[in-house]
Structure 1
Amino acid sequence: MTVLETGSLSAARISNSPCVHDVDLAVPKGQVIALLGPNGAGKTTLLETLAGLLPRESGTVSMNGQALPSGNPRAAVRNGLVLVPDDRALFRKLTTEQNMRLAITTRGRKAATEELEVVLGYFPALRKRLSVAAGQLSGGEQQMLALARALLQKPSILLIDELSMGLAPVIVEAILPVLRQVAAEQGTSVILVEQHVHLALEIADRAVVLVKGRILLDEDAATLAADLGRLEAAYMGG
């Protein structure tokens, strides 16, 4: 089952100056995709366009066969597409628990509590930090909180931009397997932009390499991990 599909998608940060060109992408249910590429390849622009934060220059985006309007983040979220941006977008003065509960305000108390427990099972380190302001959490804890809040929105597909930004590799190694677990247990699809390429490939099903705004490679992650020379060549535009 295909959850997200794009057709000839072009996108830009400045109107009429596309930096993402003719992207055709199909994301099956429960699949983890590592979106890789050098700096300036257009990875963040692509994610923000999928999330409706940027209007499309051309092309289509659909969720579960339903066409999404261009530049409409509310419609994207309603259809199950949730973005975790590289700055995490936390409410720094609110506590960890308050940040999470903002994602489940429409649920009844019992349902909200049950959902909170499920997410804390993925990120048990947050359980002891529920009363701590988000701004006082460590970088790793803040990233866990951003992911936890996103999961509480029950996404069909989770877009994660630069998960490891400012984090030590050991923290990244602890968080990435959780995404693999969520995909397997919840059926949530994941598109992950990650600078630690080898770590991303370890948990991904598929790798998509974007260079100069175009998809240069789209193949099995394990196959690409076994042939890093091709990946290096792709980063160089070859």
Structure 2
Amino acid sequence: MSALECRDFATGYVKQRPCVRDIDLTVEPGEITCLLGPNGAGKTTLLMALAGLLPRFSGDVEVDGHPVRSGRPRDAVRAGMVLVPDDRALFRQLSTVQNLRLAVRQRARRGTAVDEIIGYFPSLAKRLRVDAGRLSGGEQQMLAIGRAVLQKPKVMLIDELSMGLAPVIVDEILAVLRRLTDEAGMAVVLVEQHVHLALGIADRAAVLVHGSVALRESTATLRADPSLVERAYLGIDAVGAGPS
């Protein structure tokens, strides 16, 4: 059973003019899929629509075999799909520990929630009482991902993970994502501008150009032949018939 199945998906901001269309995307449990493409290609729009924050004009979305209704963020979360947006969407005036505890529905789990996230991100241990708005960019990204982890997602959608962060912090966060997928079987869909970072951590990649998939392939293949990604960005050849 696939963690995420997206078929004939179209979305956008005006129904008569979808800016993302004909998207077929399959992500397996324990797999990281990166979405690549130039600015304006529709990557963020696609994540927002998958998470229910934008309407779906056509197509189907399933999480772990269960259909997700269009434009229903709560439906997406209940199905097991959680979005980490590019602005991280933290409660900036609340402390790190308060942000984490808000993500836990069951009161009994709140006592262990913080320890669980510190196990993934030890550098947050000394920042638990600090307001989220006063954290560094890297600490905020760790907190945002940690908060998402506490919701026990089957699929985590992450938009622009590395934006504004130092390479050493990005490497630390990517290592945690790999650990989560390998150990917990979580699936990740990662939007990333830095192609080499994305191809280094992901299992599969899809390149979006003008709102459609121009290339879909394993990252092993793309690392072996970087020109495939370059040609997709430039719109050269209709490559995209590879496995989803």
Measured against the shorter chain, the TM-score band is over 0.9
What is the TM-score when the length of structure 2 is the normalising length?
0.94
Deviation of 1:6 after TM superposition, in Å, equals 1.1
Equivalence for 1:133: 131
Equivalence for 1:99: 99
Equivalence for 1:155: 153
Would you say how many aligned residue pairs link Structure 1 and Structure 2? Answer: 236
- Identify the match of residue 120 of structure 2 among 113, 122, 141: 122
- Identify the match of residue 196 of structure 1 among 194, 197, 203: 194
Equivalence for 1:175: 173
Deviation of 1:20 after TM superposition, in Å, equals 0.7
Contact 2:64/2:154, CA 8 A, preserved across alignment? no
SS of residue paired to 2:221: helix
Structure 2 letter corresponding to 1:107 = Q
Contact 1:32/1:203, CA 8 A, preserved across alignment? yes
Equivalence for 2:241: none
CA–CA distance in structure 2, aligned partners of residues 14 and 120 of structure 1: 42
CA–CA distance in structure 2, aligned partners of residues 236 and 113 of structure 1: 51
CA–CA distance in structure 2, aligned partners of residues 171 and 13 of structure 1: 34
Percent of aligned positions with the same letter in both sequences?
Answer: 59
Contact 1:94/1:134, CA 8 A, preserved across alignment? yes
Deviation of 1:16 after TM superposition, in Å, equals 2.0
Contact 1:159/1:192, CA 8 A, preserved across alignment? yes
CA–CA distance in structure 1, aligned partners of residues 173 and 224 of structure 2: 23
CA–CA distance in structure 2, aligned partners of residues 129 and 222 of structure 1: 38
Equivalence for 1:27: 27
Equivalence for 1:44: 44
Equivalence for 1:14: 14
Deviation of 1:13 after TM superposition, in Å, equals 2.3
SS of residue paired to 1:40: coil
CA–CA distance in structure 1, aligned partners of residues 113 and 99 of structure 2: 14
CA–CA distance in structure 1, aligned partners of residues 202 and 7 of structure 2: 23
Equivalence for 2:72: 72
Equivalence for 1:213: 211
Structure 2 letter corresponding to 1:32 = I
Equivalence for 1:84: 84
CA–CA distance in structure 2, aligned partners of residues 149 and 117 of structure 1: 12
Equivalence for 2:144: 146
Deviation of 1:113 after TM superposition, in Å, equals 2.3
SS of residue paired to 1:59: strand
Report the aligned-residue RMSD: 1.1
Deviation of 1:207 after TM superposition, in Å, equals 0.8
Deviation of 1:44 after TM superposition, in Å, equals 0.5
Contact 2:100/2:113, CA 8 A, preserved across alignment? no
**Structure 1 unaligned runs (5+)?**
none
CA–CA distance in structure 2, aligned partners of residues 47 and 205 of structure 1: 18
Question: More displaced, 219-228 or 148-157?
Answer: 219-228
SS of residue paired to 1:2: coil
Deviation of 1:226 after TM superposition, in Å, equals 1.8
Structure 2 letter corresponding to 1:43 = K
Structure 2 letter corresponding to 1:59 = G
CA–CA distance in structure 2, aligned partners of residues 39 and 154 of structure 1: 31
